[in-house]
Chain A
Amino acid sequence: MITPDLLLDPQLKYWVLLPISFVMVFIGLLRSNITFLLQAPPKLEGFKAVREKQFLRRAASFKTNNQVLTEEEFEVRKQYFIEKLNSTDFYAKIEDSNQDPMSQLTDPGMNDALMNMAKGNVMNFIPQTVIMAWVNYFFAGFVVMKLPFPLTDGFKSMLQNGIATPDLNVRYVSSISWYFVNLFGLRPVYSLLMGGSEADALMSQQQQQSPLPNIGGPGGPKVDKLFKAEAENIQILSHESVFEGIAERVLESYGV
């Protein structure tokens, strides 16, 4: 059965469709600028924390690349790493194991990190909630546009959210659905407007600075656990050197 087309008022385009899109782009830009301003300047990590991480990295690379060592070199380093990983020599700070777990909450470093996380989340949620409430309040139940291409019924729940018309053609889009489509689809627009490449470069620079887990940070693993685990891994390490039969290998590869 061919259902007659629903006639849409062309004014809907100017008073609903475009305003929703504009408001979302505008608020998105505003949000990213405010987030940028709220961002705490990157803090310099204490040299002891860096030392701890770097030592762990050194131990980890010994674990993966020990084939470049000879048997004796391997044994010497293995003993060294096991000894050092089981001692507290490389800890950034030695924590009292009997410490009250609640006292961690008063740790200023912890608070800073939590505050930053909270700020990020707040900046994400508040604008979205406000726009969604605005769309829901003013344009509840609006059908705002008709897509120029046919779609299967599976898209009904996605495109016709908020209007109770089971038989309506899937090509019609409701206002709240248009909001969702914008929410997920505007990222490329933002990066175009804000000059994405520089932002990406900054982002990648920041990521490069901490390739290792955030030891001892909020939610991060505790340093003694990490060191002990690494020591156990090294304890059971078996060794095979690349120099084993290397002369034969090279000669063979040249067919000599």
Chain B
Amino acid sequence: MSDITLLKNKLLLVASSGAFANFSPEQVKEYNDELEHFLLVSTDSLDSIELFNLYELEFYLALISKNDIKAKSVLDRLLDQFGSNKKSQRIKLLQSLFLEATGERDQATKLLEKNPDEMLLSRRLTTFSRNNDDEKDNEDYIYNLIFYLDLQPSDLVTWAELGDEYSKIGHYDKAIFSFKEILLQDPYAYPVFYKVALNYYYNFLQEEKNLKTERKDKLVELSELLINARDNALRCIEICDVYAKSWLLIYIISTHKFNEKLSKLDSVKEIKDYLVTNERLRKLSEIKISELIPEDERANVLAQLQLK
């Protein structure tokens, strides 16, 4: 493959994966320059689908770098070349993004609302209700996400978004439900298993904090959350055994001081099994963590997990 083809493939992959959303400012600039140069030199060798995707990427990069003059010019170029199809949802989406970025939110909303069949646009409309000022106040956003999911019950990205939003406000059980929906369609998505495990663990911490009595049934109930957290983390490991965060979670669970309280309850079979494997898992996770995470980062990561 020639260098040009490799560069083209790289840019197309960035465009289709949406990886640019997590770019650092330097990366955005680097890609912007690279893409601009590439489009200048080899527009002719691209077919129309590739060209559209790359223009789209250029538009997003311009928006991210707050260069709305350039964004406008890219948008005009897109309309020039592909505007004959007035129905295109993708072009409308870009137009609405531009309007939103330039502060004309009402017009953007109008553009998105026109046709209820245009699901891509409805999805964008849903994000309008996200309240960026206060992270904890996302009731409207959650309501809208649920409404959208009723229309598109197998939209995985939206389920993930809903799970994250629930997790933010401490509704861990609902977050787990949302993440499980993703797993049902993609049963090997190991980062999602980790998220489920983490939410079970947070749920456990929440319940433990509110624990007033040390009655047996309450403790058993709590231990179930912990066991679920551990099992999901283990499933993540089973699929991808270098997922360091999951090993850390297993380590934290197996060394949690709540386990001491449980040791009084070893008449219950599940708890007895749990405690027996716990010690072995602790040793194994210690070994794996020392393999996977450099020593100077370890304390930092651990602190992050336990702070929540």
Contact = CB atoms under 8 A, between A and B. Distances in A.
B185 A58 contact: yes
A67 B187 contact: yes
Given A47-B151, A256-B284, A250 B180 contact: no
B234 A246 contact: yes
A208 B48 CA distance: 18
Interface string A45-66: 1110011001101100110011
A246 B153 contact: no
Given A61-B154, A247-B234, A50 B119 contact: yes
B94 interface: no
Given A50-B152, A55-B153, A247 B184 contact: no
A44 B117 contact: yes
Interface residues of A, number: 38
Interface in B164-221: 177, 180-181, 183-185, 187, 193
Contacts of A251: 277, 280-281, 284
A238 to B, nearest CB: 16
B154 A70 contact: no
Nearest to A255: B284
Contacts of B115: 44
Contacts, number: 99
Nearest to A249: B238
B234 A250 contact: yes
Contacts of B85: 41
A96 interface: no
A34 interface: no
A51 B185 contact: no
Given A46-B117, A57-B154, A251-B277, A65 B183 contact: yes
Interface stretch (A122-130, A149-157, A173-181, A194-202): A194-202
B228 A70 contact: yes
Contacts of B183: 65, 68
Contact of B231 (A41, A57, A247): A247
Contacts of B231: 243, 246-247
A68 B180 CA distance: 8
Interface string B19-58: 0000000000000000000000000000111000000000
B187 A68 contact: yes
B184 A41 contact: no
Contacts of A50: 117, 119, 151-152
B266 interface: no
A65 B153 contact: no
B230 interface: yes
Nearest to B176: A73
B308 interface: no
Given A41-B85, A50-B152, A73-B180, 15 more contacts: A41-B87, A44-B87, A44-B89, A44-B117, A47-B116, A50-B117, A50-B119, A51-B150, A54-B153, A55-B154, A57-B154, A62-B184, A198-B48, A201-B47, A243-B232
18 contacts: A41-B87, A44-B117, A46-B117, A50-B119, A50-B151, A51-B151, A55-B153, A57-B153, A67-B187, A68-B180, A68-B184, A69-B180, A201-B47, A242-B235, A247-B230, A250-B237, A250-B281, A253-B238
Interface of B: 47-49, 85, 87, 89, 115-119, 122, 150-155, 177, 180-181, 183-185, 187, 193, 228, 230-232, 234-235, 237-238, 273-274, 277, 280-281, 283-284
